[in-house]
Every structure is written in C-alpha cells, then in structure tokens.
A and B are shown apart, each in its own frame.
Chain A
Amino acid sequence: MDTMIKTAVNRRTVLAAGALGTAMLAMPTVLRAQDKSLKIGVYGGYFKNSFDKNIFPEFTKATGIAVESVAEPTGEAWLVQLEQAAKAGAAPADISMMSQVAMIKGQSTELWTPLDTAKLPNATNLLDRFINKYPDGRIAGIGAVAWYITLVTNTDVYKEAPTSWQAFWDPANTDKLGLLALVSNSFLLEVTAKTFFGGTNALDTEEGILKVFDKLAEVKPNVRLWYRDEAQFEQALKSGEIPMGQYYHDVTGLAASEGHPVRSTFPKEGGIQDSGCWALSRASKKAEEAHIFINYMCQPAIQATLSRKVGTAPTVKRELLDLNEKEFAAVSSDIEPILPRYDLLTSKADFLNQKWTELIVG
C-alpha cells in the first residue's frame, strides 16, 4: 500500500525503496545536543536521508545550531498534524518542507509565521517564484527544493526526441502514453493551457477551464496508463511497454545514465516545475534559528550542493551558481517553466477533481 500513497511531494521514495517503511514513521534523528537547536520536518525517505547526510551536519558546523530532522508522513497528514499541534501551542517541527498546496491551505489558518526578509539577506538570490506570499504580501515560505516533470520517451521506440507537449495529442501515439492520474499532481491542465491556449491564464475562468478540459479529453485515446504509482510507469518506460509520458526529469536522467533507453526532454513550452517550501509553524519558539537556517539554505553554494547530491533544481538565479552546463541540465533548464496553478488546485479543488475524474474515468 505504501508505494501507492504517494504524491509528487514525496516522490523520492521511489529512489529509496528500502526507506519506504520509515517514511510512515516520524522518527527524529538527533545530531548533537547543543544549546541552540532546531526541529526540521523533511519528506521522509530519500529527501530526509539526503539532507541528513549532505546538508544538516554542515549547517550545524557552520552555525552551531543542532538539527533534529523529522520524517514527514505522506499526503497532507503532516499539515493536519501541524495544524492541530499549533492549536495546542505545540510544534512537532519548527520548520517543515511543505508542498505548495499545503502552503496555501496553511495560509488560510495563519499557520505559517511570516518571515522577515531583513533576517534573510540571501533571499535576494532567489528566483521570484520561490517566495511564497500571503495574499497581503507577507512572506509565508521560502523555496526549499524544486523539481521538473518533463516529456519522457523511450529512445528505442522514439529515435528523435519530441520537441513539444503536442506529441501527446499526436494520433500516431495511440495507446502509448503514461500520464499521472491525479489532477493535483499531473498538472496537465496547465500543460494544455500553455501548449494550446497561450498560457495558464486561460484557466482563470470556469469557461476557460472547461475549454481546456475539452482539449485535454482529446488525449485520452493515446493514454495507455494513468498512473499513481511511479515505479509502475518508470518500469514500463524503461522496457518500452509504454514509450512516452510525463515523468520526473532528474529520475529519468539518472535512469538514462544507468544505461536504460530513456530520455527526458524539456518541450519548447517548458517543463512543469513543482516545488516545496520551508515554512515556520506559528507555534514554534525558534524563529531566530529558523531564519538562520532558511538564510543558510538560500546560499548559491548550498543550492549547487543540493543539485549535485540530491538532484533538485536550484531555487536561486543561475548566474550565481557554479554549476557547469552538464550539472545544470541534469536538474533544470533555461526554458521558462510551466508553473502549476496551485491557487486553482485549492480554491477549485472539488470542481477540478470532479471534472478530471469524469474526464478520465467516464
């Protein structure tokens, strides 16, 4: 069951099959007992392991702040826990890595302590889209990690890499696609809007959304698999059983480097960029340390380390990074990304879900 209850936010568990079980347990890891300390929630499994190994020890060395990392459970369960704990004045973690949808939901209850830019000098390094704001402009969160979902193909079946998301609509690709099954993690409405309607603004009105749905419906005959389980699609892509689809850029790159006949392509309309934020619970009494941590994470050198060691796309501007061409291409692209409409995914969640389910099931 574990492998199925997975969203984009904890997708890294795919790479850490052995860590699946631990992902369900919030097991704290105490690094060093010191006066100053911080509890940090990280997506359980691959992310937590990578951070424990590559980031937190260095941070403690540099700042003297001990880190206790907490594995976040899957889905939105962590948000529920934070919310309920905050009501009781407790914080199971001071800072947590949160999905964009969870950020918006947390904003509605003022769960996140607004961050002070004066204490985050490095935040100026960030790309604008990685600063998460309350509707009134206060800063709710700062980009933690980002990744791309791109157009992936099996190189044995497709000798030429496709150049556009339009390939999904090509009648030649009947019954060849593997697409994510949920409206909340596939972001195919945004892809359709960007590819055929000039941008995700086409989704601003319900009429617009319905038009986009109609266009997206045309893709159905080409879809062999609507997947929730990433391993299932990845395996089918490698074998050529399902030779085209949408998948994670860095994981696909990793598979290609291991010799599998797969490739990840940034279409000319851009790859889909999803990300997680650092957010501070309002129940936390460690605001000072939290700002120090977030500021630390916004350094270009740390972002470069994340890209090299964890495979995430950097949240800071490219010119500040010392990543070479190859290292950068492994995790990101200069093509302007398609940004998911998280606002719609929360404000119109039930409407989108209903239409989406009717679209693919009906």
Chain B
Amino acid sequence: MKREAPQSIADYGPLFFPAGMLLVFFVVPFGTMIAVSFFQRQQGGFYTPAFVFSNYERFLSAFFGGVLGFSLMLAVTVAVCCVVLALPFTYLLSKLPRRLQVIWLVALLSVLSLSEVIIGFAWSTLFSRTAGITNILVQLGLMKQAVALSPSFGAVLTGMVYQALPYTVLVLYPALVRLDPTLMEAARTLGSSPVRAFFNVLVPALRNTIMATLIMVFIFALGSYLLPQILGRPQHWTLSVLITDQAIYQSNMPFAAAMAVFLVLVTLGLVALTLLIGRKGEKA
C-alpha cells in the first residue's frame, strides 16, 4: 500500500492524542523539573526563578556519589535477582496445565495489589527478633536464639525482590508462553539435559526479552524509596529517599529536582549503554 503524504491538518489527527499524552504526562512535568532544578533555593522560604548551577554543584560530591552508586547497585542487584528467580519459575509455570497457570497468575496479581507500606511492614515483622521467622528456626532446633534480620541489606533486597517479582513474571510470561516448546525438546534430543538446555537454548533465545525485563525491573527498583527506609539502615537508603526528604521535608524543590534530573540522566545513560552492548553482541 502506498502512503500519501498528509495533505491537511486533519490528516495529522491520529497523532494529536499520543502527542498530547506525551506532552501532558512527560514533556511538561519533566520540563518543569529541569527548570526547577536550576532555580535558586530560598532557605526558610521556597525558591525563586533563576538559572544557577548550585543545586547540581551540591550534588556532585563524594557523599551523593556514594548514595547514587549504592542506589544503582541495589537496583541492578534487585533486577538480576528477580530475573534469576522469575525465569525458571515462569518457564515451569508455562508448562503447567492452563487452569493452574491462571490460579498462579491471579495469586501473583494479588501481590501487586499490596501497597509498598504493607509489604514493608510484613517483611519487617517476618524479619523481627520478637515475631520473625528465626523463631520458627529456633523451635525446629536449627538456631539457638531468635535474631533480628532487619534492618539489613538482605532485608531491603528481599523486600524489593518480593515487590518486583510479580512484575517480572508477568513481563516474562507472554514470551515464555509464545516460545516454541520444541526448541527445548530439540535440545534434549541433541544431548542436553533439561537444565543445560534451559541455559544454552532458552536463555539465549530469550536474550532480548530478558534484557528488556532487566531494564524494567532496574528502573522500577530505582524508584523505590519506602522499602529501603522500612527494612534498611540509613546506609541502605537510596537516592530516591534523599530526593523525597528534600522535596517533602526540606521543601528544597530545586535540589530535589536536580537530584531527580541527574538520576533520570544516569538511568537513561545506563539503559542506552546496555542496549548498545546488546546490539553489538547481536552483530558479532
């Protein structure tokens, strides 16, 4: 079919809605944030329109660099843990009878309905000394006395993985259901055990899906600011926590905006880098 160039404004009609959505929900808020990040902070007041770099200067320090580094590391770890857990799980799920699959998916969706606060509180209770899982281990005779597992890095990681896992499964599920089941069977007839075939056929065949899932969970985890507070010590607080502090408790919108812009840029940069490496790998 030959497409004709648009003749009148009406021909551009179908573009208006998506363009409007993009403008209203992305360009305007993000543009506002960039603008505010250059505004002058008034201590004891609010901020005044200006064009200053002081907000970015304050951010460029070893301290905030460390927090940013930790946030990225945490998000990457969460993404990797989620995919490592969700991939075999979702694969096995896709092999189950249809009815069981539906039950599992409904259960996973119900986890999504839990708020971050509830997840945080549930895990902080499970990890507590007084009412936590270590009490069960003590009763089973596996431990001498109950200990507190929270706050700790492990607790933060567990909470965040728990929160992101349903998303991971739901993103991987369609790809795994669509995957030709004979690929795995072929690998088996060619001498691969099922476990080996999982790694040398299924994983590489789904490389793009896995990469996309990793990026999605990474970005999802980067925005988390409640679970690190509830389950972690201050050294486990992410940049998002500090942004929230500045925006809500310090009323320092320019600095919060500068941190947020920086975080977005670093994230976009990392995603672009990942895609670039992925494309190179495909060519080779």
Contacts and interface: CB of A to CB of B under 8 A. Distances in A.
Q: Do A and B touch each other in the complex, judged by CB within 8 A?
A: yes
B249 interface: yes
Contact of A239 (B117, B121, B131, B249): B131
B36 to A, nearest CB: 13
Nearest to B245: A182
A3 interface: yes
A182 to B, nearest CB: 5
Interface in B229-263: 229-230, 233-235, 237, 242, 244-246, 248-252, 255
A1 B116 contact: yes
Interface of A: 1, 3-5, 7, 75-76, 80, 83, 104-105, 108-109, 181-182, 184-185, 224-229, 232, 235-236, 239-241, 346-350, 353-354, 357-358, 360-362
B248 A181 contact: no
Contacts of A182: 245, 249
Nearest to B229: A228
A7 B245 CA distance: 11
Given A229-B229, A239-B130, A241-B128, 13 more contacts: A7-B249, A83-B46, A104-B44, A105-B46, A181-B234, A184-B250, A226-B234, A229-B230, A232-B121, A232-B230, A346-B44, A349-B44, A358-B63
A240 B116 contact: no
A5 B251 CA distance: 12
A346 B43 contact: yes
Nearest to B251: A76
B117 A1 contact: yes
Nearest to A358: B63
Contacts of B131: 239, 241
B79 interface: no
A357 B245 contact: yes
29 contacts: A1-B117, A3-B117, A4-B244, A5-B248, A75-B249, A80-B46, A108-B44, A108-B45, A182-B245, A185-B249, A225-B151, A229-B230, A235-B121, A236-B124, A236-B128, A239-B128, A240-B130, A241-B130, A346-B44, A347-B43, A349-B43, A349-B44, A350-B41, A350-B252, A353-B250, A354-B58, A357-B245, A361-B237, A362-B66
B67 interface: yes
B250 A349 contact: yes
A3 B244 CA distance: 14
Nearest to A356: B245
Contacts of A184: 249-250
A235 B131 CA distance: 12
B226 A4 contact: yes
B55 to A, nearest CB: 10
A35 to B, nearest CB: 37
A81 to B, nearest CB: 12
B220 to A, nearest CB: 16
Interface residues of B, number: 37
Contacts of B248: 5, 75
Contacts of A240: 130
A150 B248 CA distance: 25
Nearest to B46: A80
Q: Which of B229, B242, B250 has the largest count of A CB atoms less than 10 A from its CB?
A: B250
B197 interface: no
A322 B250 CA distance: 40
Interface string B105-117: 0000000000111
A241 B129 contact: yes
B148 interface: yes
Contacts of B116: 1
B63 A362 contact: yes
A229 to B, nearest CB: 7
Contacts of A358: 63
Contact of B43 (A185, A229, A236, A350): A350
Q: Which of B41, B43, B44, B128 has the largest count of A CB atoms less than 10 A from its CB?
A: B44
Given A1-B117, A4-B229, A225-B151, A357 B242 contact: yes
A361 B235 contact: yes
B128 A347 contact: no
Contacts of A360: 234
B149 to A, nearest CB: 11
Contacts of A83: 46
A166 B117 CA distance: 33
Contacts of B250: 184, 349-350, 353
Contacts of A346: 43-44
Nearest to A224: B151
A9 B189 CA distance: 69
A75 B249 CA distance: 7
Contacts of A1: 115-117, 226
B228 to A, nearest CB: 11
Contacts of B234: 181, 226, 360-361
A360 to B, nearest CB: 4
Contacts of B252: 349-350, 353
A193 B255 CA distance: 29
Contacts of B235: 361-362
Nearest to A357: B242
Nearest to B63: A358
Counting from the closest, the 7 A-B pairs by CB-CB distance are A346-B44, A360-B234, A361-B234, A239-B130, A241-B128, A241-B130, A76-B251
Contacts of B129: 241
